[in-house]
Amino acid sequence: MTTYKTRAEVPLHEKWDLTDLYSEQSKWDEDYLEIEKIANDLKGFDGEIHDGQSLYHYLKQREELSFLFNKLYAYAMLYVDEDTRETTAQSLLDRAKQLSVKVSSATSFFMPYLLSLDEDTLKGYISTEERLAYFEEDLFDSFRYKQHVLSKEQEGVLSQLGEALSVPSQTFGMLNNADIKFGEVTGKNGEAVELTRGMYAKLIEDEDREKRKEAYKAYYQPYVQLKNSIASTLSAAIKNNVTLARIRQYPSSLEKALFGDQVPKEVYENLILTTKKNIAPLHLYTQIRKEKLKLDELHQYDLSVPLVGGVKQVISYDEAFDIMCKALAPLGKEYIEILHEFKNGRYIDVRETPGKRSGAYNLGVYGVHPFILLNHQDDLDSLFTLVHECGHGVHSKLSSQHQPQITARYSIFVAEVASTVNEVLLINYLLNNEQDSQVRKHLLNHFIDQFKGTFFTQVMFAEFEQKIHEMAENGQPLNVDVFNQTYETLFREYNGDEIVFDDEVKYGWSRIPHFYRPFYVYKYATGFASAIHLATKILEGDQKTLDAYLKFLKSGSSDYPLELLKKTGVNLTTPTPIENALSRFSELVEEFSKL
């Protein structure tokens, strides 16, 4: 395992090259001043757009500003993430954030102005100014919101309430990230140490059951202690969603959340219904887990420990990169060439160093290229992370290359498709090329657990959100007991009766930050199911699906997400893609049980 004490020690080819954004800081400063100038110019359009020509000039300048601002902000953010302790980088990011407020304020007049026009007037502007054709789809997409937008005065009042409405989410964030102190666990030498989130993630997978149990109890302790406070923040967040949906005249808070992506609520309901109809293989897996761990009683703290021990593969970064290229070969030559460009062009920041931001991500910068942050640990998980983030990276690169700026960014709804297709191709390649039965078992176990976390758990969360929002819409009270009962019932339905329920299980809802971003988690599950469907077809050698998939990667947001997926053969308005994914899960569990 390669560990570096400073960033300077990391070989050059394993660090990203931010000079692709700005060769020197003075150029960043020049763009800063330019953005300020354009923002001031845009402010001058308030009350002055009366024809197609002035509308075009406003939109054109706004797009130019957006291009410069994204580049400027990306540089500051990436620079901070290299070493979060670096004060020069922090001050750049602070300046970029201040600039963002100026930009928002300069352009805030536009949406109410646009929606105050009637459709014929807008069509008239477009017919007299042909350069507006480029913005036409975008303008009419904003127009969809017309029936849900209030008068200028009411919108003004709502925007002033914005900060107050975000309080429940911020309060939970402060409790969860700043105030919560976990209980104590036994350290290496028998001393008591305070549990951290990072330690918990490792301990809950520990082979020693007593360590798992101790960590589990310590982890849930503060959530149980703060149950009433957290219940009141969650209840307030839900009531805010419900109230806003009513004020804006949406049929329900669910439909308000789905409106932007033009997803009918049947897609959401169908996901839950189809999953629950096909839940038996997950119950079987829980049973296998109990038998494999030789337990009389299976508890929640037994659900994350790997079932195959003793497999510790060391996979260096270069080796991981080679494996990735072989595994993704079915996607064709162009795809693999792009991956080599990522490595040779230094788009990837590979190593963990002191102060570097944890985790991994891909950031596409239009007109430049994607940047990928990793904290590579030379193990199997790191190989999966590399393949996952490169999936996002290639999606960003191809969309930027083949789409104009206005449609280059893809929606969150389809974001996980490209990364998960890559993971399915990787697991398939590894299983086909592995003779060692222990390693094969380990790989299957890894993928089944990932499937469970990215698909089943998210569907359970999605159903929990739906149920508690419906209660609020029907005027039922929301409190600890209601949340506990709803969550525990669902946990039992999804995970089966093999589990002995500790008191902590029912408090699972209290630690999920995603619930403060309503109806978001279902996208993980639909993205995952779509990817399983596509990867299976690609591995069967279906050329039509492969061509359609590569076209999808080049499509950005040139159409609504459901339509983009339909063109690849995935129709989420039917149960088929969900059923296909679940039958794949069933096969994995079956194969694992035989091994």
DSSP result, 16-75: --GGGT-SSHHHHHHHHHHHHHHHHHHHTTTTT--SHHHHHHHHHHHHHHHHHHHHHHHH
| Span 327-362, pLDDT tens digits | 999 999 999 999 999 999 999 999 999 889 888 999
The whole-number average pLDDT for the span 523-551 is: 96
Which pLDDT score is estimated for 381? 87
Report CA Rg, the chain: 25
Q: Are 373 and 390 in contact (CB under 8 A)?
A: no
Distances in whole angstroms, Cα of residue 286 to Cα of each of 202, 342, 454, 497? 21, 40, 16, 9
pLDDT classification of 546: cutoffs 50, 70, 90:
very high
| Span 249-277, pLDDT tens digits | 999 999 999 999 999 999 999 999 999 99
CATH code, domain with 43:
1.20.140.70
Which residues form the domain of 98? 17-149
Residue 145: inside a domain: yes
Tell me, rounded to whole angstroms, the distance of Cα 295 from its chain centroid. 35
Report residue 383 as tokens.
């190989």
Catalytically active residues, by annotation:
389
Find tokens 């997926």 and name the residue.
565
The whole-number average pLDDT for the span 105-113 is: 89
Least confident of 143-157, 285-299, 388-402, 482-496: 143-157
Measured between alpha carbons, how far is 177 from 513 in angstroms, rounded to an integer?
10
Domains: count for the chain: 1
Residue 551: inside a domain: no
Q: How many other CB atoms sit within 10 Å of the CB of residue 272?
A: 17
Measured between alpha carbons, how far is 444 from 455 in angstroms, rounded to an integer?
16
The whole-number average pLDDT for the span 540-561 is: 97
| Span 78-102, pLDDT tens digits | 999 999 889 999 999 999 999 998 9
Residue 453: inside a domain: no
Angle, helices 87-107 vs 25-43, to 10°: value is 20
Find tokens 């159903």 and name the residue.
463
Q: What is the mean pLDDT of the chain?
A: 94
Residue 498: inside a domain: no
Residue 226: inside a domain: no
| Span 285-327, pLDDT tens digits | 999 999 999 999 999 999 999 999 777 788 999 999 999 999 9
Residue 110: inside a domain: yes
Q: Are 484 and 506 in contact (CB under 8 A)?
A: yes
Residue 524: inside a domain: no
Which pLDDT score is estimated for 2? 63
| Residue 1 pLDDT > 60 | no
| Residue 112 pLDDT > 70 | yes
Which pLDDT score is estimated for 317? 96
516 or 310, higher pLDDT:
516
Q: What are phi and psi of 354, to 5 degrees?
A: -55, 135
- Model's pTM, two decimal places? 0.90
Q: How many other CB atoms sit within 10 Å of the CB of residue 170?
A: 12
Between the two ends of the chain, the Cα-to-Cα distance in Å is 30
| Span 133-180, pLDDT tens digits | 999 999 999 989 988 988 778 877 887 787 788 899 989 988 988 889
Residue 243: inside a domain: no
The whole-number average pLDDT for the span 219-244 is: 97
What is the DSSP pairing of strand 192-194 with strand 361-364? unpaired
What percent of the chain clears pLDDT 70, i.e. is strictly above it?
99
Distances in whole angstroms, Cα of residue 550 to Cα of each of 113, 132, 391, 398, 553? 39, 30, 12, 9, 5
Cβ partners under 8 Å of residue 74, min gap 6: 21, 363, 365, 368, 371
The whole-number average pLDDT for the span 171-197 is: 89
Measured between alpha carbons, how far is 402 from 333 in angstroms, rounded to an integer?
18
